[in-house]
Amino acid sequence: MISATWVEGKYGKIPSIKLLCFLLEWVMYKEKLGIPQEHELVRTSSKSEQRKGRDTDIYSYDEKNSCGELIAKYVVRDSMSIYPPQSTTVSYVKYDVSGKEIGSGNL
């Protein structure tokens, strides 16, 4: 999880761009994955890789219910072509608590 980073702006302390991007990404993924509002989506890891003309960010998330129990795990791949025309593909794989794949698709 990213720590809340604030920077001094013209009108006082404001959230950093990194924090704002993280929050936007988190809200978008939670909504597009169909995770209920009362559940929590927790990022457990992230990594980046570059190969074959693509820049790919890979995020792992845990879905937890309101009691904090693990419901499912997700791996989200956000991939962008580094050559024109630049295109972006966001895909996911959903796993149950035992690690069995139970869903996948594009977001």
**pLDDT per position as a tens digit, 23-55:** 677 778 888 999 998 999 999 999 999 998 999
Judged against a pLDDT cut of 60, whether residue 2 lies above it is answered with no
DSSP the chain: -----EEEETTEEEE-HHHHHHHHHHHHHHHHTT--TTSEEEEEEEEEEEETTEEEEEEEEEEE-TTS-EEEEEEEEEEEESSSSP-EEEEEEEE-TTS-EEEEEE-
Question: What's the pTM value of the predicted model, to 2 decimals?
Answer: 0.77
Which tokens is 63 given?
Answer: 């879905």
pLDDT tens digits for range 48-107 = 999 989 999 999 999 999 999 999 999 999 999 988 888 889 999 999 999 999 999 998
Q: Residue 43: which residues within 8 A CB-CB, separation 6 or more? A: 1, 2, 26, 59, 60, 61
Domain residue extents for the chain: 6-106
